[in-house]
Amino acid sequence: AVQMTQSPSSLSASVGDRVTITCRTSQDIRNHLGWYQEKPGKAPQLLIYDASGLQSGVPVRFSGSGSGTNFTLTISSLQPEDFATYYCLQDYTYPRFTFGPGTKVEIK
Amino acid sequence: EVQLLESGGTLVQPGGSLTLSCAASRFTFSAYAMTWVRQAPAKGLEWVSTIGDDGSLTHYADSVKGRFTISRDNSKNMVYLHIKSLRGDDTAVYYCAKPMGVAGLNWFESWGKGTLVTVSS
């Protein structure tokens, strides 16, 4: 099974900051990684697919990069609505999936 | 716009069973695999189970294998999750999810609002 780690587990940042979240996998998954944003009481929202593809409707301040075992989600200029928890997800082992443990982005 | 509406979540005693339902609309249901994802209180997201478009193939997380059964009825645009031998760690919000529309893009693009299962005596 593919093991997922995310770092940091939480971070505090201010509006306008550049934020980077890292996801690492226990084996090479090529570009089979997505990123989700979750807010309390709401269903998760797909932000990035195939490591770097921006999902339709998602602001361009969100970007993804990486391949193999190391991936990053970057928010270029943090906005008030971006305070949330972010999860990576691998589908290399489709139809079995694995989520990362999550990174909570809080207001400094 | 795709609609997914989960139901069936309730308070259940340990060892009990229940069936969750997900009603799908506004897309060609029979063309998509469907997935259940859960989130325990104050915990992360966990993939639970996926069923193929015609229902012939099913897949489960190791944590639920043998206790959970996913099924679908394409004539009714419904997907189900039957859970037996419920345990406290099954307490979670259960989401139904649909993948993107492009072949090979399996990412969960559409989600329901979730249904809460609470396992407690």
User: Would you state the structure tokens that stand for residue A59, as one six-digit string?
Assistant: 């602001």
Q: Provide the 8-state DSSP code for A31.
A: T
Interface test with A, best of B45, B93, B102 (most A CBs within 10 A): B45
Structure confidence by residue, pLDDT tens digits, B88-115: 999 999 999 999 976 778 999 999 999 9
Residues in B closer than 8 angstroms to A34, CB to CB, are: 107
Structure confidence by residue, pLDDT tens digits, B13-36: 999 999 999 999 999 999 999 999
Give the residue from chain B lying closest to A45, CA to CA.
B109
pLDDT at A46 (0 to 100) = 98
Cβ partners under 8 Å of residue B52, min gap 6: A95, B33, B58
pLDDT at residue A86 is higher than 90: yes
pLDDT at A55 (0 to 100) = 96
b/e A16-38 (16+ beta carbons within 10 angstroms → b): eeebebbbbbeeebebbbbbbbb
pLDDT at B23 (0 to 100) = 98
* Number of Cβ within a 10 Å radius of residue B76: 11
pLDDT at residue B70 is higher than 80: yes
Work out the percent of chain B whose per-residue pLDDT is above 90: 96
